[in-house]
Amino acid sequence: MQEVLPLPEGVQSFNPSDYVSFGFGGDGAFGAIDKVKLKHIVSGDTYALKKFAFTNERDRDVASNELEMLKSLNNENVVGCLGLYSAPGEIRILMELMDSDMTTFTSKDEKLLAKVAVKVLSGLKYLRDNSILHLDIKPANLLSKSGTDVIKIADFGCSINLSAAAGKLWNFHVAIF
């Protein structure tokens, strides 16, 4: 029997009936992302809902790892976790919505490139200061919001918390990575 993941400290629970989905936001390696609005919030704010369905232990571990990382991070350059729904065989993570990723970013404006670099490096420094190795930094995992200079690091499924994994990262006295 599959277990329901426990609700992390500081993360609110929500129910699928709390939101209405109005668009597909994309696919990831382990889950799909929908654009949603919460029914009880009048502001009309739009959120991203990352859905993980898992049928095996590995997929469950990836989903659990991403949730574990997101719940502990709070930085302007890291995508935030706003809520969680957990049921046997699935979890859904409610996150702030970002419009696009950096895969199509083609600017040659040096000032803009410098701003982007500073934001990404600031996010990476924050992760390092919190003993987190992302392990999957690429343009698709650097999200942006149209009309702003907001850049956020996303997709923590492959990440490692060095504090929690210190003894597991060595194999015969050689670092695994």
Q: Which of 45, 101, 136, 155 is catalytic?
A: 136
Most distant CA pair in the chain, distance: 57
31 CB-near residues (< 8 Å, 6+ apart):
50, 51, 52, 53, 63
CB 77 within 8 A of CB 120: yes
CB 141 within 8 A of CB 123: no
> Pairing between strand 160-161 and 151-153?
unpaired
Residue type, position 147, single letter: G
136 assigned to active site: yes
In DSSP terms, which residues pair with 175 in a beta bridge?
A: 170
Please count the other Cβ atoms lying within 10 Å of the Cβ belonging to residue 164: 11
Angstrom distance (rounded) from CA 17 to CA 38: 9
Residues identified as active-site: 136
